[in-house]
Amino acid sequence: MRKPLQTYYLRKLINTLVDATLTSPSLAEMVHHHLQVEWIRGQMLSQYRVFDSRGEVYWELSVIDAHGYTDMLYQQGSALLTIAINGALVTPKDEERAKELFPNRAFRTCPYCHQRFHSWLEYYGHYKLDHLLDHQSLRAI
């Protein structure tokens, strides 16, 4: 998929993907292996590429207003996009990179109990075990 995006829409897309992987398979889970994200800084346009270890490209996202933002913003976007597209297949190395880029900030706050998490995998496990199972058992009644 190729799509030009403004930074605002890129942020919305990444957050939507992160939240969606709580209840549906991530892209990596659908193709059954961990995916990588590359960020390429251009003069007027920056691009994210999502690819696998064989070099097959799954997504190319071009950010059309890239020149107005700092490199750090796009590095943070790359770290979050890596987590979003991998979901349960995210690696500890990916999580460590996100922690370095977002120092002293919680990765996610649980929408149900408002507990804050600094790790995607801890948040993912908490949600699956403490809330998703509760909702599924309520539907079964």
Q: Where are the domains of the chain?
A: 5-89, 105-140
Closest CA to 112 of 41, 24, 22, 3: 22
> Across 71-75, 82-86, 121-125, 132-136, which has the greatest mean pLDDT?
82-86
With a pLDDT cut of 70, the percent of the chain lying above it is 90
With a pLDDT cut of 90, the percent of the chain lying above it is 39
**Pair type for strands 46-51 and 57-63:** antiparallel
Q: Following CA atoms 72, 74, 77, 83 in sequence, which dihedral angle do they give, to the nearest 10 degrees?
A: -90
For 62, list phi and psi in degrees, rounded to 5: -100, 130
Q: Examine the pLDDT at 136 and tell me if it is beyond 60.
A: no
